[in-house]
Structure 1
Amino acid sequence: MEQKRDTSFFGQPRGLMTLFFTEMWERFSYYGMRAILLFYMIYAVDKGGLGFGQATGAAIMSIYGSLVYLSGIIGGYLSDRVLGPWRTVFYGGVLIMFGHISLAIPLAKLGLFLSIALIILGTGLLKPNVATMVGNLYQPGDERRDAGFSIYVFGINLGAFVAPLLVGWFQVHVNFHVAFSLAAIGMFFGLIQYSLDGRKHLKDTAHQAPSPLQPEEIMPLICKIVGIIVVFAVIIGAMAMMHALNINNVINLLTFVAILVPVIYFVVMLTSDKTTKAERKRVWAYIPLFIAAMLFWSIEEQGSVVLALFASDQTALHGAPASWFQSLNPLFIMLFTPFFVWLWSKKLRDKQPSTGVKFSLGLVFAGLSFVWMAFPGMLYGVNHHFNALWLIASWALVEVGEMLISPVGLSASAKMAPVAFQAQMLTVWNLSDATAQAANAQLVQLYSKSTEINYFLIIGGITIMAGFLLWIASKRIKALQIGLSD
């Protein structure tokens, strides 16, 4: 009963304030770093960068994002079986902070790759477990839960909105390393907030592993970990012996792994004895939604890569940092969310379209956002500096798509999951983004001024076509989803 009396943060439990600011600062640090990382890699050394080629820098950005989502598998396991959510999040924050510090120090390529490794692991430890702790603040049936998650998501987008503006300004007016230090400071503030309030205002369950490893499970786990390490070591060793150990081939290897992981998850769910016949049909119905989500995230995640390059090279900035455009994503999410909440819960309610139809509309909007970006080059030629409104309109279109796919996909993942794989299905949903960015690691290398128009038209056109195909299949998906199919 004590939980219901805790209304000290806008009517919500005080622990929500702790998690709100922890995640806000973590997103500030991550998106602040991400807003300028591509430019740091591809700018010439005399401009403070590392001098990577555009294709290599774009590929690193994409595979980096993919591995961040993949690492959530590790974070979820450590939280559930070893450390508990509170310690897992804390250690993740520490790793993220040191990752940003390694970029703040002028260590060149060593600092870059050390930072990537630390932030990948740290974000994997932190991000999925903060959301878990938010849910655990509420008793079953507590009507404040949805509002609490809305406040939490607002904190995410607030941090992501402010970060590119501040970090981008310091990158342009001071240098990259001072700008990266802001990301480290942001994470430091998050850790201070979390440490001071977390132990007092979060539930005791946050400090315990819900399903601790048993002694007899430790040795098999160690054997699996050693086996995975040995396999990778053998592959890397073979690449070195064949003189094929370079950045591009490592990216190719990681792309293959990121695409393989969700395939394994689906095979396990479909072949498991724990999955009933009806549940198996729902998993089959979920697969086209997963593929649609991959197509959507492929376009959405290119905002920090391809659209960032367009902003830097072909947009009339009038002195503004190109990184400021990265604030458009969270800005439009904050603007659009109240409208879509009203649309689904008030205006349409029981008349709202099915999951498949929402996904198909989301794909059409995402595809249009890329087709739209082909028009500036078609009208004026690619060797031109375009009005910023072209980019702003493109981001607005893709974020309408996100409103139709991201929250709907989370809900569908929970509804369509087999009972024995409910947690894993939410992991699979996150893997749709990881797989999309892994594919992007190959795709974005094809982007340049000379290919720009065809690049936007082809990818946008394929996505729109996929949206129409999904719309045609939506009735079948709905029938499988609710168990009406034979």
Structure 2
Amino acid sequence: MALSSSGVATATGKEKFTHPSGLYVLFFTEMWERFSYYGMRAILILFMVAGPAKGGMGLADAEAGAIYGIYTSAVYFLSLPGGWIADNFLGQKKSIWYGGIIIMIGHIILAIPGSDGIFFLGLATVAIGTGLLKPNISSVVGELYPEGGARRDAGFSIFYMGINLGGAIGMLTVGYLGEKIGWHYGFGAAAVGMLLGIIIFRIFSEQYLKEYGLLKKQVKSEEIQIEKKSSNSLITIVMAIVSVLFLAILQWAGYINIFTATGLAQSMGIIIVSIALFYFIFIFVAGGLTGIEKKRLFVMFILFLSAAIFWAGYEQGGSTLNTFSQRYTDRDIVGWEMPASWLQGLQSIYVIMFAPIFAAVWLFLNKRNMNPSAPVKFGVGLVVLGVGFLFMVFASQIVITGAKASALYLIVAYLFSVLGELCVSPVGLSFFTKLAPQRYVSQLMGIWFVATSLGTLIAGLAAGVFDEKNVANMPTNFMYIVYFTAGFGLIILLFSKQIKKWMGGVE
């Protein structure tokens, strides 16, 4: 790595065609963390809707979907304070380490059969740990490539492949154990996966990340750090007070009921939207940004909205499509019924297959000055996702006749969702690290995951709409997802040139 005349790090010689060794430490750490997360997620809603006779909780679809949405939303929403804690107190290495330990403890709690209270305690513990680990490990990947460019995009695509390798293995392993052996055996396997992840990080992080200066907090001066802590503490206090008051008013007026799972999920959605808006506005107005940084922040807000809408559709894979697989899909293979959660695992398998191809395509196009801008990639991703849900419209039209749909519909729908994902998620991870002012990088990475939080919450709430009492409405409900995702994608494509101008030269 060398410095240009402007002081910006650039890749030289061999570095242009290779990746830092630290990438692979983070690759395997995240792979096992995602094994634990996606493995457990694969059986979560199935465990909640299964009757007590089958070892489940016996919850109604709407309640189980709301709890699923609250949990998956909290996992990503807590990335915002997780990034803040790393920036101001622990640093990235300790945040990743402690986060992994907390996640493992949460899965161990879930593996213990017991009351609903123990189950919810386990979910909360996993969410807290993931919020601490997730934004910081992604930020470190970005810092391995200070020169930016297509090489960083390719690095994030490789990192993303590790995420999905862990997800695929996790869903197959935990899914089989949970559905065929016992739910709590599946939860226990997730704990083992996280243990392997923290062991790898502990052994290899010192050797392969220290050379990049990533194990210490980068603080210019004690005075700046004190000022930053004070301002961020004020933000946190103000957002908390405003959110509580707003929810109290809505509860008093009868618009929500925070004492039900659905009402609590709706309340969480209001909090997420309010905090995200307040955070963007605060940094824009009082963050000390230059004119170019403000334009880039506005682009980040647009990408935030796009990501939230994308994940609201994509995350139906763990909720709506998962129960569709269990109830309405023919999964018979020569007399053996495949676990419903295995079809969900196709998303990760597809990513493993196509991520290297996408990474190579981005590099190929970049060398010829044809690499699409981030807004174009986001727009295409949303449109492709919408097209995938058309197949679920066709599948649900078969279901309302009383027959089961072929698994091919889900196989194709998951394929389109992944093709859209590869245009959005690794690209979004990379561009948030590029567009964010350096002093806010971990916190704005947290905001990126808050978009996922909002999307997964919506996905959980949507699962309650697709219950067994509303089968006749299923085609229409799937069609709404097509309109919403593909429609917003077309709007992004329409204004992509103007959005690119606001990026201020970031490629």
Shorter-chain TM-score: what band?
0.7 to 0.9
Equivalent AA in structure 2 for residue 407 of structure 1: P
Indicate the residue corresponding to 2:194 in structure 1.
Answer: 187
| Alignment match of 2:266 (pick from 241, 252, 255) | 252
Preserved contact between residue 83 and residue 208 of structure 1 (Cα < 8 Å)? no
SS class of match (1:22): helix
Deviation at 1:218, TM superposition (A): 7.4
For residues 184 and 416 of structure 1, the distance between their equivalents in structure 2, rounded to whole angstroms, comes to 35
SS class of match (1:451): helix
| Alignment match of 1:455 (pick from 477, 483, 491) | 477
For residues 50 and 391 of structure 1, the distance between their equivalents in structure 2, rounded to whole angstroms, comes to 26
Preserved contact between residue 269 and residue 421 of structure 1 (Cα < 8 Å)? no
* Closer, same or farther: CA 79–279 of 1 in aligned 2, 3 Å: closer
Matched, 1:158 2:165: yes
Matched, 1:292 2:306: yes
Equivalent AA in structure 2 for residue 451 of structure 1: N
Unaligned runs of at least 5 residues, structure 2:
2-10
Indicate the residue corresponding to 2:500 in structure 1.
Answer: 478
Equivalent AA in structure 1 for residue 100 of structure 2: G
Deviation by residue 1:172-207 (Cα, 9 ceiling, x = unmatched): 321101111111111122223333334455418555
Indicate the residue corresponding to 1:36 in structure 2.
Answer: 43
Deviation at 1:136, TM superposition (A): 5.1
Deviation at 1:454, TM superposition (A): 0.7
Deviation at 1:11, TM superposition (A): 7.5
For residues 459 and 216 of structure 2, the distance between their equivalents in structure 1, rounded to whole angstroms, comes to 38
Matched, 1:468 2:490: yes
* Closer, same or farther: CA 352–428 of 1 in aligned 2, 3 Å: same
SS class of match (2:345): helix
Preserved contact between residue 386 and residue 481 of structure 2 (Cα < 8 Å)? yes
Deviation at 1:372, TM superposition (A): 1.6
Superposition TM-score, scaled by structure 2 size: 0.82
Deviation at 1:331, TM superposition (A): 1.1
For residues 159 and 139 of structure 1, the distance between their equivalents in structure 2, rounded to whole angstroms, comes to 27
Indicate the residue corresponding to 1:169 in structure 2.
Answer: 176
For residues 155 and 275 of structure 2, the distance between their equivalents in structure 1, rounded to whole angstroms, comes to 32
For residues 142 and 23 of structure 1, the distance between their equivalents in structure 2, rounded to whole angstroms, comes to 23
Preserved contact between residue 258 and residue 438 of structure 1 (Cα < 8 Å)? no
For residues 461 and 472 of structure 2, the distance between their equivalents in structure 1, rounded to whole angstroms, comes to 17
Indicate the residue corresponding to 1:117 in structure 2.
Answer: 124
Preserved contact between residue 12 and residue 148 of structure 1 (Cα < 8 Å)? yes
Preserved contact between residue 376 and residue 382 of structure 1 (Cα < 8 Å)? no
| Alignment match of 1:403 (pick from 416, 419, 422) | 422
* Closer, same or farther: CA 477–78 of 1 in aligned 2, 3 Å: closer
For residues 479 and 293 of structure 1, the distance between their equivalents in structure 2, rounded to whole angstroms, comes to 20
Within 5 Å, give how 1:209-228 maps onto structure 2: 209-211=217-219
Deviation by residue 1:120-149 (Cα, 9 ceiling, x = unmatched): 110111122223344556786999866655
Equivalent AA in structure 2 for residue 120 of structure 1: A
SS class of match (1:172): helix
After TM superposition, the structure 1 stretch with the greater mean CA deviation from structure 2, 180-189 or 401-410, is 401-410
For residues 472 and 143 of structure 1, the distance between their equivalents in structure 2, rounded to whole angstroms, comes to 24
Indicate the residue corresponding to 2:352 in structure 1.
Answer: 334
After TM superposition, the structure 1 stretch with the greater mean CA deviation from structure 2, 416-425 or 271-280, is 416-425
Matched, 1:268 2:282: yes
SS class of match (1:203): helix
Equivalent AA in structure 2 for residue 256 of structure 1: I
Deviation at 1:354, TM superposition (A): 3.7
For residues 148 and 230 of structure 2, the distance between their equivalents in structure 1, rounded to whole angstroms, comes to 40
Matched, 1:56 2:63: yes
Equivalent AA in structure 2 for residue 195 of structure 1: R
For residues 141 and 367 of structure 1, the distance between their equivalents in structure 2, rounded to whole angstroms, comes to 31
Deviation at 1:16, TM superposition (A): 4.4
* Closer, same or farther: CA 50–401 of 1 in aligned 2, 3 Å: same
After TM superposition, the structure 1 stretch with the greater mean CA deviation from structure 2, 39-48 or 426-435, is 426-435
Deviation at 1:427, TM superposition (A): 3.3
For residues 415 and 137 of structure 1, the distance between their equivalents in structure 2, rounded to whole angstroms, comes to 12
Preserved contact between residue 274 and residue 420 of structure 1 (Cα < 8 Å)? no
Preserved contact between residue 66 and residue 258 of structure 1 (Cα < 8 Å)? no
For residues 222 and 286 of structure 1, the distance between their equivalents in structure 2, rounded to whole angstroms, comes to 23
After TM superposition, the structure 1 stretch with the greater mean CA deviation from structure 2, 413-422 or 160-169, is 413-422
Unaligned runs of at least 5 residues, structure 1:
none
Indicate the residue corresponding to 1:444 in structure 2.
Answer: 463
Matched, 1:428 2:428: no
For residues 365 and 199 of structure 1, the distance between their equivalents in structure 2, rounded to whole angstroms, comes to 41
Preserved contact between residue 280 and residue 418 of structure 1 (Cα < 8 Å)? no
Within 5 Å, give how 1:407-418 maps onto structure 2: 407-417=426-436
Q: CA-atom RMSD, angstroms? A: 3.5
After TM superposition, the structure 1 stretch with the greater mean CA deviation from structure 2, 26-35 or 126-135, is 126-135
For residues 384 and 131 of structure 2, the distance between their equivalents in structure 1, rounded to whole angstroms, comes to 30
* Closer, same or farther: CA 210–383 of 1 in aligned 2, 3 Å: farther
Indicate the residue corresponding to 1:355 in structure 2.
Answer: 374
For residues 432 and 224 of structure 1, the distance between their equivalents in structure 2, rounded to whole angstroms, comes to 19
Deviation at 1:482, TM superposition (A): 4.5
Indicate the residue corresponding to 1:325 in structure 2.
Answer: 343
For residues 204 and 373 of structure 2, the distance between their equivalents in structure 1, rounded to whole angstroms, comes to 42
* Closer, same or farther: CA 21–340 of 1 in aligned 2, 3 Å: closer
Equivalent AA in structure 2 for residue 455 of structure 1: N
For residues 190 and 479 of structure 1, the distance between their equivalents in structure 2, rounded to whole angstroms, comes to 41
Preserved contact between residue 32 and residue 160 of structure 1 (Cα < 8 Å)? yes
Deviation at 1:78, TM superposition (A): 2.0
Indicate the residue corresponding to 2:26 in structure 1.
Answer: 19
The count of residues paired between Structure 1 and Structure 2 equals: 476
Deviation at 1:12, TM superposition (A): 6.1
Indicate the residue corresponding to 1:80 in structure 2.
Answer: 87
For residues 477 and 141 of structure 1, the distance between their equivalents in structure 2, rounded to whole angstroms, comes to 19
* Closer, same or farther: CA 482–88 of 1 in aligned 2, 3 Å: closer
Deviation at 1:37, TM superposition (A): 0.6
